[in-house]
Structure formats: C-alpha cells, structure tokens
A and B are shown apart, each in its own frame.
Chain A
Amino acid sequence: MAGLATADSITNPDEMFSNANINLIKARATHVDAQKKMIALSDGSEVPYDKMVLAVGATQVVPQIEGHDLEGVFTLRQVPDAERIRAFIDERKPRRLVFIGAGFISLETATLLSASMPDYDEMTVVGRRAHPLPFMLDTEMGLNIEKYLVEKGLTMKMGEEVTKIKGQDGRVSSVELAAGQLLDADMVIVGVGARANLELANDMGLEIGRYGIKVNQFLETSNPDVLAAGDCVEKTHFITKKPVAGQIRGPAVIQGRLVAKRLAGYDIAFPGVLMSTAVKLFDKTIAATGLTEVQAQDSEGFETVSAVVDSRSKHGMISGAKPWTLKLVFDKKTQRLIGGQIISDSQAPAKEIDAVCALILGEKTIADLTTFICAGHPDCSSEPSLEPIAIAAEQALQKLRK
C-alpha cells in the first residue's frame, strides 16, 4: 500500500504448494456435510475429507453507521484491500484523510501513507479511547506516542466517536463526530477490529464461543474430525484464562503448525495468547505483551505494582545510541510478571518484548527478574547496568517494601 513491497513478494505463490505435492483448489467452500464428510465448492464440485482444518480467518468490522458504504471508505486486511487503497490514492489523489480507530493497523497505515503522500493537507486519527494503542500501552506511554504523532504531523482526535460519514454524489466528503464536529475528508480508512468468519462453522453446527469457533487446547472443535485455528477461533488468554479474540498473525501461524503436529500424533497443547504485538510508527517502534496496568486493574481485578525504566540501544560511548523505555507490570499478590510495554527510537530493543513474553509464560516473579541477565555488546545493547528488565524488577521490589 505504501509502495514498500509488491503484493507478490508478501504472499505465498501457488508453486510453493504444488512443489510440495499439495493440491490447491481455488474455489469457495460453500457447505460441509459433516456426516458424509464432504465439502461442497462454489464451482459445483465436492471434496471428501477424513480430517478437515478450518482456517477461514476473519473479516474487518465496518461500523454500520450512515455513510459506511460511500465511495472512498476503506478497510484494510488483505492484499486486495491494500491494492484498492493504493489505486484510489493514485487516481483521486486525496488530500484529507480520516482514520477511524487508533489501534496498530490504523496508526501504521496513517504513518506509512503520510510518508508516501507528501502533498496531503490533513490526516486525522479518531479514537474512542483516551490515547492511541489503548490495548498495548498504558496512559503515560500512550500519551507520549500521541504527542509524537502530532509532532510528526498527524491530527489526533482521541476520546471521540464517529457517528456519521457524509457524502456528496456518492463520495465521502466529511466525517461527523459525536460532539458535532465535522472533519473534511475525501478518504476514510476504518480500522476498528475484525470478526471471525463463522459461516461454515455455523453450517456444520460447530460450537461457537463469544469470539469464534470453540476449540480445545489441541485446536479440536466440537466435531472430532474438524480442527480449526487462527482468526476464526476463540482463544484463551494465558494470564486471565478468559476467552479472547486474539486475531493477530503470530498465534495464527503457530496454531497452523500446531494443527499439523496434532494430526501427526503429537500431544502439544496451545498455551493461550498474550496478545504480543509490535508496530512501527515513523521512527518509533512499539511492542507490548500481556496485560496493560489499566487492563489488569480495571478489567481483571489485579492489584498491581509496576515500573518504568529508560535505557539506550547501545553503550553510551558508542555513537548512534537511541533511547528506549520499558514498562513492566506485576501482580502484587503473586509478584508474577503479567505485562510489558516498550517504546523505542530504534528497532532492535523492541524485540526485548519477546524476553518479557517468555518470562510471563514461565510465570517468573519480581525476585526472579532481579537476576535476569541479557546478552550484551557495546554496539547492540545497553550497558549491563542499564539493562531495564532487571532494573524494573528492582524498582518493583522496592515499591513492595514501602
């Protein structure tokens, strides 16, 4: 969409499957006869199965507000969506763009388009929560990002709701907020989440949960011959053990491979998701895993202790060192790590979120983390004395003594 990669370069070619002796049928599965174990296709043919895997994904949600179907209103999920957006930009040259939603897809799209459309007049992000990336960052971290995005030229309308998309001659012309304000717009991109594709699952009578197809820890559905994985299934949060949508690529890929292992006879359980995500907004890389402190307190009833630590990407005497900030959130009762957030001016430190993720999965405590030692080198990490995971744990330890 931003012109950084071609569509073909980011999709699996058909040859990858045919070279592996995998049959590829390009058609829509329209009906499944679970008793006969037969799948009906849109081309009129039928395909028999012994075991079936449902990997039918999710569809971007479009709020059913007035004007959602006007020309110039887009969602982004698949390659064709990106191609439609690019074609519209190239043809119509929109100058006033409004992004509905302040999650990572909306914001990354806005930042990429602003960099590739130097002649735009205004790009506005409208989000319902008080700050951007509300499911990744706590308030102090999120407000820092909002300030940064404004400095980079975006207009941020946080704590606002879009009630109507207005048009002229069938084309979008403005967006109306709940407070009555009108934002001029000749292009609108909606990024407010996705919903599991459940047509086939419903057709087969599979058990469905709040967020998708219900599966056990081995990704087996209520039909013993049907497994399901990815965006179409409901997942379990590793910490809260509650059902979540978890519609991100990481769990989808891992669940896809786990399905194959299950069918081959392995007994490896899916542990649940921590909603680990990363996003690059201009020169900042943001990553998060587990619960934010707000989620932990307000939604899950944890009493928390947390710490925010500033570090740098290289030793101080090396030129080019960039700052980064880590926040860790702990459950005060068990002292276990339950969440982490990183904002970094360079890309490498953001991957330290994977260490945080592994420490949560290992159910490590504040005391455990005070002795956590990272591999280090002057050119690719902070000094050991500035390694923020152990420092954050020490700060949390001190807070508990007060």
Chain B
Amino acid sequence: MEKGEKLVIVGRGGVGGPAAMLSRKLMPEVDVTIISEEERFIVR
C-alpha cells in the first residue's frame, strides 16, 4: 500500500488484531482503521 492510503479491517479477533498491529509496523505511513462491534472479542 502507498503512503496516505486507507486500510480498513473489519473485525478484531484472531485476525483483525494481529493484522492491524503488524500493518502499523510494516506500513507506518498507511492510515489503519479497525471496525468492530464487539466490546471484547476473543475466540479460542
């Protein structure tokens, strides 16, 4: 992704959380947003 582009992740469970955190590390210039309806979310 390019500088200033918007990455939106829908969900923050086993996929969404790690995807967002590593995206931030690998692409610090990208705008990262998580959309999540759960207050707290974890699956086994």
Quick check: is A35 within 8 A (CB to CB) of the other chain?
A: no
A233 and chain B: residue at smallest CB distance: B15
Report the number of A-B residue pairs with Cβ-Cβ less than 8 Å: 173
Quick check: is A120 within 8 A (CB to CB) of the other chain?
A: no
B34 and chain A: residue at smallest CB distance: A24
| Chain B residues, CB < 8 A from A255 | 15
Interface flags, B14-44, vs A, CB<8A=1, else 0: 1111111111111100111111111111111
A26 and chain B: residue at smallest CB distance: B36
B6 and A230 form a contact (CB under 8 A): no
Residues of A contacting B: mostly: mixed
| Chain B residues, CB < 8 A from A210 | none
Nearest CB in chain A: distance from B5 CB, A: 4
Cα–Cα distance between A57 and B37 once the two chains are bound (Å): 12
**Contact check: which of B26, B37, B38 meets A260 at CB < 8 Å?**
B26
A42 and B37 form a contact (CB under 8 A): yes
- Contact-residue bracket for chain B: 35 or more
B19 and chain A: residue at smallest CB distance: A256
B41 and A11 form a contact (CB under 8 A): yes
A7 and chain B: residue at smallest CB distance: B40
A56 and B20 form a contact (CB under 8 A): no
Interface flags, A237-260, vs B, CB<8A=1, else 0: 000000000001100110111011
A26 and B39 form a contact (CB under 8 A): yes
Quick check: is A29 within 8 A (CB to CB) of the other chain?
A: yes
| Chain B residues, CB < 8 A from A261 | 22, 26
| Chain A residues, CB < 8 A from B42 | 10-12, 78-79
Cα–Cα distance between A231 and B15 once the two chains are bound (Å): 9
**Contact check: which of A10, A29, A253 meets B14 at CB < 8 Å?**
A253
Cα–Cα distance between A260 and B40 once the two chains are bound (Å): 22
B39 and A25 form a contact (CB under 8 A): no
Interface flags, A1-32, vs B, CB<8A=1, else 0: 00000011011100011001111111111000
| Chain B residues, CB < 8 A from A41 | 35
Cα–Cα distance between A389 and B38 once the two chains are bound (Å): 43
B33 and chain A: residue at smallest CB distance: A23
**Contact check: which of B21, B26, B44 meets A105 at CB < 8 Å?**
B44
B43 and A57 form a contact (CB under 8 A): yes
- Contact-residue bracket for chain A: 35 or more
| Chain A residues, CB < 8 A from B7 | 49-53, 263
B34 and A23 form a contact (CB under 8 A): yes
Cα–Cα distance between A25 and B10 once the two chains are bound (Å): 10
A11 and chain B: residue at smallest CB distance: B40
Given A29-B35, A47-B33, A53-B16: A200 touches B44 (CB 8 Å cut-off) = no
Quick check: is A48 within 8 A (CB to CB) of the other chain?
A: yes
Given A10-B42, A49-B8, A56-B10: A22 touches B32 (CB 8 Å cut-off) = yes
A53 and B40 form a contact (CB under 8 A): no
A230 and B8 form a contact (CB under 8 A): no
Nearest CB in chain A: distance from B14 CB, A: 3
| Chain A residues, CB < 8 A from B14 | 55, 57, 230-231, 249, 252-253, 256
| Chain A residues, CB < 8 A from B35 | 25, 27, 29, 39, 41, 47
Quick check: is A229 within 8 A (CB to CB) of the other chain?
A: yes
Cα–Cα distance between A22 and B35 once the two chains are bound (Å): 11
**Contact check: which of B10, B18, B27, B33 meets A263 at CB < 8 Å?**
B27
A20 and B15 form a contact (CB under 8 A): no
Quick check: is A54 within 8 A (CB to CB) of the other chain?
A: yes
A230 and B13 form a contact (CB under 8 A): yes
| Chain B residues, CB < 8 A from A49 | 6-8, 33
**Contact check: which of B15, B24, B36 meets A53 at CB < 8 Å?**
B15
B34 and A25 form a contact (CB under 8 A): yes
B16 and A55 form a contact (CB under 8 A): yes
Nearest CB in chain A: distance from B9 CB, A: 4
Q: Apart from A57-B13, A256-B17, list 6 A-B contacts with CB within 8 A.
A: A10-B42, A23-B32, A48-B6, A50-B6, A51-B7, A260-B23
Q: What is B's interface to A at a CB cutoff of 8 Å?
A: 1, 5-27, 30-44
For the complex of A and B, list the 6 residue pairs with the smallest distance between their C-beta atoms, beginning with the closest.
A252-B14, A55-B11, A55-B15, A230-B15, A260-B22, A256-B18
